Chain A
Amino acid sequence: MTRVGVLALQGDFREHLAVLRELGADAVAVRRPEELDLIDGLVIPGGESSVMDKLARSFGLFGPLQAAIAAGLPVYGTCAGLIMIADTLVDAIAGQQSLGGLHVSVRRNAFGSQLDSFETDVDIPALGEPPVHAVFIRAPVVESVADDVTVLAALPDGRIIAVEQGPLLGTSFHPEITGDTRFHEYFLRKLQTSS
Chain B
Amino acid sequence: MNMSTNTANQELGTSRVKRGLAEMLKGGVIMDVVNADQAKIAEDAGAVAVMALERVPADIRAQGGVARMSDPDLIDGIIAAVSIPVMAKARIGHFVEAQVLQALKVDYIDESEVLSPADYINHIDKWNFDIPFVCGATNLGEALRRITEGAAMIRSKGEAGTGDVSEATRHIRTIKSEIAALSSKTKDELYVAAKELQAPYELVAEVARTGKLPVVLFTAGGVATPADAALMMQLGADGVFVGSGIFKSGNPAARAAAIVKATTFYDDAAVIAEVSRGLGEAIVGINVNDIPAPHRLAERGW
Contact = CB atoms under 8 A, between A and B. Distances in A.
Interface of A: 8-15, 31, 46-48, 50-51, 54-55, 58-59, 79-80, 91-95, 108-109, 112-121, 135-138, 155-157, 174, 177-178
Contact of A31 (B21, B106, B265): B265
A52 B260 CA distance: 11
Contacts of B13: 115
B83 A109 contact: yes
A93 B42 CA distance: 12
Given A115-B131, A118-B11, A118-B12, A47 B46 contact: no
Q: 10 closest pairs, A vs B, by CB?
A: A114-B107, A118-B10, A10-B27, A120-B10, A113-B105, A12-B23, A48-B48, A117-B17, A54-B46, A137-B20
Given A109-B83, A157-B8, A12 B260 contact: no
B14 interface: yes
B17 A135 contact: yes
B136 to A, nearest CB: 20
A12 B8 CA distance: 27
Contact of A119 (B14, B43, B105): B14
Nearest to B261: A58
A120 B20 contact: no
B43 A117 contact: no
| Main SS at interface, chain B | loop
A55 B260 contact: yes
Interface in B120-135: 130-132
Given A48-B28, A115-B12, 12 more contacts: A11-B27, A47-B25, A51-B28, A51-B48, A51-B84, A114-B132, A115-B130, A116-B12, A117-B21, A119-B17, A177-B16, A178-B16
Contacts of B26: 10-12, 14, 47
Interface in B165-217: none
B63 interface: no
B70 interface: no
A113 B18 CA distance: 12
Interface size on B, as a range, is: 35 or more
B14 to A, nearest CB: 6
A46 B48 CA distance: 12
A51 B260 contact: yes
B205 to A, nearest CB: 20
Given A11-B26, A137-B20, A118 B6 contact: yes
Interface string B85-96: 100000000000
B99 interface: no
B20 A174 contact: yes
Nearest to A178: B16
B46 A51 contact: yes
Contacts of A46: 23-24
24 contacts: A10-B28, A11-B24, A11-B26, A47-B48, A48-B25, A48-B85, A51-B47, A51-B84, A51-B260, A54-B46, A59-B265, A80-B24, A93-B44, A93-B83, A113-B105, A113-B107, A114-B85, A114-B108, A118-B12, A118-B14, A119-B17, A120-B10, A137-B21, A137-B24
Contacts of B14: 118-119
Given A47-B28, A109-B83, A117-B21, A31 B8 contact: no
A55 B132 CA distance: 27
A135 B20 contact: yes
B17 A118 contact: yes
B79 to A, nearest CB: 8
B276 interface: no
Nearest to A118: B10
B9 interface: yes
Contacts of A157: 8
B74 interface: no
Nearest to A8: B27
Nearest to B8: A156
B83 to A, nearest CB: 5
Interface in B212-261: 257, 260-261
B27 A50 contact: no
A16 B106 CA distance: 28
Contacts of A174: 20
A15 B261 CA distance: 21
